Amino acid sequence: MSSARLDRRRFLQTVGVACAAPLVVPASALGLETTPAPSKRITVGMIGVGRQTRQKNLKQFFTMPDVQVLAVCDVDSWRLDQAKTQVREAYGKTKASGQYQGCAAYADFHELLARKDLDAVMIATPDHWHAPMAMAAFAAGKDVSLEKPITRTIAEGRQLADSAARLKRVFRVDSEMRSTEPLHRAATLVRNGLVGKPVRVTVGVPPGDQGYEFEAAPDMPVPTELDYERWQGPAPHAAYTQRRVHDPKSFGRPGWMRHLYYCDGMVTNWGTHFNDVALWATDLDRTGPVEIEGQGVYPPKKSFWNVLWQFECHYRFANGVQWTYKIDKPYFKVEGTEGWIRADAKTVEAEHASILDWKPGPDAVQFRMKSDKQDFIDCVKTREETLEPAEVGHRVTSFCHLGHIAVLLKQKLRWNPEQERFLDNEAANALIDKHILAPRYDA
């Protein structure tokens, strides 16, 4: 071997250790990977690979070099094959061969959770499966990112939050609103006192779907690709009809989002987006109101889809903050003793425009700004609390459930947020651990 080749070899072996002066050597020159080694990546399994996972969740994970999606799971075999192909094609682009075969597929989520090589799971199933799957994942030793709304009942939420704390699992509500710049900015301004003491909050969410409202939903043959019994799971047993589940071989908006067996509709769906950032802004996201009342309109009794069409709920907190939550455009507004601020996903407005130029000082309340997925993955590594952990997710979702219960009972309700019980109202307390399945129809 020539002395020149030997010197080069010794140089590559010792560079960065014995150099007295700074020297930058490209990783490729050392034969090193430019992305984290497989042993340093967070491995993730995807449970539920429908519209949200295909269009949003997987694509975000694919951009993160410190994440490896190892497995996908769904009870619809067509969707499962689509997801497996999506993962293999995405990672195949990073391989010299253009091929990647490392994604496993499961129909039973228990089999996915049994894998010892998975650090975390992302759950994006119909709502009625959210809490049961999350708690099974905790028991299996997995950290969890869970689509909102995270529960169907208040009791489920308490159980989920307590389980996450007891088992020391990292948990993230998969809502992007705390990572949306205008909403993040508005929350920061409110928390730093730029509108004074909060007095009144208004939250709007868009109306839900009202299609097929007067049409019957006939029993139909179950598509061959769908394991319908597994899909129903903890929900009441019902004969298959297409509008109850999702359109076969499609990623369109699913019917289950409009039926009370599986979902509470917009009151929890978008409510857990915009009430979340408003509760965060006012530092009320780890407690609850003390009074709630509401009114709303359900579809006519003959409608198959039966979640709330319209609603307006009013809350009062122990500190005096008055809160209105209603069907409207999606936004939140905080009115304080020194002005107001209003934000949606694109803009921030303020009564005193000068506060929008505020810059944080060393003692300011500041929140980290990163995507919901990156926040989750980073906290899986550090074991820190995510920006929207289980306790917060439970309180936010419960806030929406409280409004729904008030609409159903058509009564002003008093609530103890520490005990999480209604005061002197057994009809309301009976709904703490029950899904709302039989509303009092207004038409």
Cis peptide leading into 149, omega within 30 of 0?
A: yes
In 3D space, the residue among 13, 16, 10 whose CA is nearest the CA of residue 31 turns out to be 13
Listed residues 156, 177, 198: the one ending a domain: 177
Distance in angstroms (rounded) separating the CA atoms of residues 47 and 246: 16
Strands lying side by side in the sheet with 339-343: 348-350, 339-343, 331-336, 198-205, 322-327, 310-316, 291-297, 413-416, 421-422
400 and 358 share one domain? yes
Q: Residue 348, SS3? A: strand
Q: What pLDDT, on a 0 to 100 scale, did the predictor assign at position 35?
A: 60
154 and 65 share one domain? yes
Looking at the domain assignment, is residue 42 inside a domain? Answer: yes
Helices and strands, number each (H, E), in the chain:
14, 15
344 and 305 share one domain? yes
Q: What pLDDT, on a 0 to 100 scale, did the predictor assign at position 325?
A: 98
Listed residues 177, 212, 227: the one ending a domain: 177
Q: What pLDDT, on a 0 to 100 scale, did the predictor assign at position 197?
A: 98
In 3D space, the residue among 170, 173, 189, 191 whose CA is nearest the CA of residue 181 turns out to be 189
345 and 223 share one domain? yes
Would you say 145 and 120 are in contact if contact means Cβ atoms under 8 Å apart?
yes
Distance in angstroms (rounded) separating the CA atoms of residues 182 and 342: 10
160 and 183 share one domain? no
Structural domain boundaries, residue 127: 38-177
Residue 204 in tokens: 């709007």
pLDDT in tens, the chain (443 residues): 444 333 333 323 332 333 333 333 333 333 334 466 666 899 999 999 999 999 999 999 999 999 999 999 999 999 999 999 999 999 999 888 888 888 999 999 999 999 999 999 999 999 999 999 999 999 999 999 999 999 999 999 999 999 999 999 999 999 999 999 999 999 999 999 999 999 999 999 999 877 656 677 889 999 999 999 999 999 999 999 999 999 999 999 999 999 999 999 999 999 999 999 999 999 999 999 999 999 999 988 888 889 999 999 999 999 999 999 999 999 999 999 999 999 999 999 999 999 999 999 999 999 999 999 999 999 999 999 999 999 999 999 999 999 999 999 999 999 999 999 999 999 999 999 999 987 755 54
Listed residues 159, 177, 195: the one ending a domain: 177
In 3D space, the residue among 367, 386, 384 whose CA is nearest the CA of residue 376 turns out to be 386
Distance in angstroms (rounded) separating the CA atoms of residues 327 and 295: 11
Looking at the domain assignment, is residue 299 inside a domain? Answer: yes
The dihedral formed by the CA atoms of 133, 134, 139 and 142, expressed in degrees to the nearest 10: 110
Would you say 50 and 38 are in contact if contact means Cβ atoms under 8 Å apart?
no
79 and 166 share one domain? yes
Q: What pLDDT, on a 0 to 100 scale, did the predictor assign at position 38?
A: 66
Would you say 389 and 168 are in contact if contact means Cβ atoms under 8 Å apart?
no
Looking at the domain assignment, is residue 4 inside a domain? Answer: no
Looking at the domain assignment, is residue 377 inside a domain? Answer: no
138 and 228 share one domain? no
244 and 309 share one domain? yes
Q: What pLDDT, on a 0 to 100 scale, did the predictor assign at position 441?
A: 54
Looking at the domain assignment, is residue 435 inside a domain? Answer: no
187 and 159 share one domain? no
224 and 349 share one domain? yes
Q: What pLDDT, on a 0 to 100 scale, did the predictor assign at position 96?
A: 81
In 3D space, the residue among 53, 58, 80 whose CA is nearest the CA of residue 69 turns out to be 58
Distance in angstroms (rounded) separating the CA atoms of residues 223 and 236: 20
Helical pair 271-281 and 390-409, crossing angle rounded to 10 deg: 120
261 and 192 share one domain? yes
124 and 162 share one domain? yes
The CATH number covering residue 293 comes to 3.30.360.10
The CATH number covering residue 134 comes to 3.40.50.720
DSSP string of 277-328, one letter each residue: HHHHHTT-TTS--SEEEEEEEPPPTT-S--S-SEEEEEEE-TT--EEEEEES
- Structural domains counted in the chain: 2
Matching residue, tokens 């455009």:
329
Looking at the domain assignment, is residue 414 inside a domain? Answer: yes
Would you say 372 and 254 are in contact if contact means Cβ atoms under 8 Å apart?
no
Looking at the domain assignment, is residue 125 inside a domain? Answer: yes
Q: What pLDDT, on a 0 to 100 scale, did the predictor assign at position 212?
A: 58
